[in-house]
Amino acid sequence: MIKDIVKKLLYKERTSSQTYIDYMRKNGAKIGQRVTIFSPKTTNIDMTRPWLIDIGNDVQITEGVTILTHGYDWAVLKGVYGEILGSGGGKGRK
């Protein structure tokens, strides 16, 4: 029991596969049924634009995976040209 409490305090939404999935759904990601994240502590899913995340049914994500909702190309363009319009911002976009 104490071990579970400490685990929740340390890992928060990444405590288990289900808590991580629930967190992502709550923030706007579309995640299908029977999805498993085998190692939520080492899996990195970019939640800066959760409405861009769409994971289908029966998906298994293994340890060490990174899923991005952006590309580094915008940083390069911004450095060359200044602010770039239409960079995909806008929380809650459908």
Q: Is residue 65 part of a domain?
A: yes
CB atoms within 10 A of CB 76: 11
76 has pLDDT over 80: no
Rounded distance between C-alpha atoms, residue 50 and residue 30, angstroms = 8
The pLDDT, as a whole number, for residue 90 is 53
* Cross-strand bridge partners of residue 83: none
* Within-domain flag for 90: no
Total domains present in the chain: 1
pLDDT tens-digit profile of 14-30? 889 999 999 999 999 99
User: pLDDT value at position 94?
Assistant: 45
Answer yes or no: is 91 within a domain.
Answer: no
User: Is 86 inside any structural domain?
Assistant: no
Identify the pLDDT of residue 39. Answer: 92
75 part of a folded domain: yes
Read off the pTM: 0.68
- Does residue 31 contact residue 25 with C-beta atoms inside 8 Å? yes
Give the domain extent around 69.
Answer: 2-81
Query: How many CB atoms lie under 10 A from the CB of residue 20?
Result: 23
User: What average pLDDT does the segment 34-48 reach?
Assistant: 93
What average pLDDT is seen over the chain? 84
